[in-house]
């Protein structure tokens, strides 16, 4: 496969605490995975203060995680990840040729018979999770896009178009604790709300969908349009479409994911892939600054 895009990315997170943090444990999802359509050729993680323990391991979803323990007092935490990522050509995903959505949903139901590994992996993204409830109102919302026998990818694309059309991108109107049904009612939110809503709709009708975090080029390579959600962590949706596997859609920008998107991690919802989270002893109130820069490089 040929390289379609190359990016230099810098992701910096700074916590400033009102008092000293005596002890801290943090978990970072800041390492882009190697996939069939993406590879990371250079990666540097800069930390201050230096941790007493720094360990890398894979989480339950296959993401690379960096775990830190800081055992000396500090009033500031700085985490900067620098990476160079190459994107490879993605195979075409003809929506009209995919299986009827009811057939895919039926294949994800419990069965006492042995299940192949790929379908078993998809099943973990079929049920509700902390930020993704399954509700009757979400079934009704989704079924407007999934008439009987609709090809599963065609229905998912129609749902993406519907969310993009009916919702307003409104930074500051929601936060991670805003209930999804409130987002549905107000029709306003940001990329994580769009992704959670689309995932909840798909799972509510029996399909498998996962939350994908990553980065977004500011201006699309396809049509020179400015993309919404760039210059920060972005989120979109992976839909399980057999036999194609996972197909990714970005409801915030109403596009299929391609050479403008860099994958960082995936999970059931945002809670599984937060770029940085942890537990601290002390510190009091704090401020947070996050800066993301995605710079295209020559191929």
Give the domains, in start order, of the chain with CATH numbers. Answer: 3-88+274-297 (2.60.40.2250), 95-273 (3.10.620.30)
Q: Which class for 143: exposed (0-12), middle (13-18), buried (19 or more C-beta within 10 A)?
A: middle
Lowest mean pLDDT among 22-26, 112-116, 231-235: 231-235
Q: What is the pLDDT of residue 257?
A: 95
**pLDDT at residue 225 tops 70:** no
The two tokens of residue 48 are: 């201050």
Residue that is written with structure tokens 């994107």 in the block:
87
Percent helix, percent strand, percent coil in the chain, to nearest 5 = 20, 40, 35
Q: What is the pLDDT of residue 49?
A: 96
Model confidence band, residue 113 (pLDDT cutoffs 50, 70, 90): confident
Rounded to an integer, the average pLDDT of 58-77 is 96
Q: What is the pLDDT of residue 110?
A: 86
Distance CA(217)–CA(176), nearest Å, equals 23
Distance CA(207)–CA(72), nearest Å, equals 47
Q: What is the pLDDT of residue 179?
A: 95
Model confidence band, residue 136 (pLDDT cutoffs 50, 70, 90): very high
**pLDDT at residue 38 tops 90:** yes
Lowest mean pLDDT among 77-86, 125-134, 146-155, 171-180: 171-180
Rounded to an integer, the average pLDDT of 266-293 is 95
**pLDDT at residue 224 tops 60:** no
Q: What is the pLDDT of residue 221?
A: 59
Rounded to an integer, the average pLDDT of 104-119 is 90
Percentage, residues of the chain above pLDDT 90: 87
Q: What is the pLDDT of residue 91?
A: 85
Distance CA(37)–CA(10), nearest Å, equals 21
**pLDDT at residue 227 tops 90:** no
Q: What is the pLDDT of residue 226?
A: 57
**pLDDT at residue 228 tops 70:** no
Q: Identify whether the C-beta of residue 152 lies closer than 8 Å to the C-beta of residue 160.
A: no
The two tokens of residue 203 are: 């799972």
**pLDDT at residue 112 tops 90:** no
Q: What is the pLDDT of residue 121?
A: 94
Q: What is the pLDDT of residue 216?
A: 92
The string over 193-203, giving b where at least 16 C-beta atoms fall within 10 Å of a residue's C-beta and e elsewhere, is bbbbbbbbbbb
Distance CA(194)–CA(205), nearest Å, equals 17
């Amino acid at each position: 496969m040929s390289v379609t895009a190359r990016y230099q990315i810098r992701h910096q997170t700074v916590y400033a605490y009102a008092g000293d943090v005596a002890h801290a444990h943090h978990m970072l999802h800041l390492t882009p995975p190697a996939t069939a359509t993406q590879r990371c050729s250079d990666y540097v993680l800069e930390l201050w203060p230096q941790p007493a323990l720094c360990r890398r391991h894979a989480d339950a979803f296959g993401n690379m995680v960096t775990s830190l323990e800081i055992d000396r007092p500090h009033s500031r935490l700085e985490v900067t990840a620098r990476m160079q990522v190459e994107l490879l050509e993605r195979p075409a995903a003809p929506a009209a040729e995919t299986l009827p959505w009811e057939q895919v949903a039926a294949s994800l139901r419990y069965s006492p018979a042995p299940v192949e590994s790929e379908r078993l992996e998809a099943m973990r993204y079929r049920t509700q999770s902390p930020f993704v409830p399954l509700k009757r109102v979400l079934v009704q919302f989704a079924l407007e896009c999934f008439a009987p026998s609709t090809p599963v990818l065609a229905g998912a694309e129609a749902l993406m178009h519907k969310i993009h059309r009916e919702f307003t991108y409104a930074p500051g109107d929601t936060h991670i604790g805003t209930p999804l049904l409130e987002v549905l009612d107000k029709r306003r939110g940001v990329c994580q709300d769009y992704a959670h809503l689309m995932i909840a709709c798909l799972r509510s009708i029996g399909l498998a969908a996962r939350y994908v975090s990553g980065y977004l080029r500011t201006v699309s390579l396809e049509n020179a349009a400015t993309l919404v959600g760039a210059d920060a962590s972005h989120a979109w949706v992976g839909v399980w479409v057999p036999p194609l596997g996972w197909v990714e859609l970005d409801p915030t920008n109403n596009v299929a994911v391609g050479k403008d998107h860099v994958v960082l991690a995936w999970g059931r919802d945002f809670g599984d892939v937060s770029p940085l989270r942890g537990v601290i002893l002390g510190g009091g109130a704090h401020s947070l600054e996050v800066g993301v820069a995605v710079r295209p490089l020559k191929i």
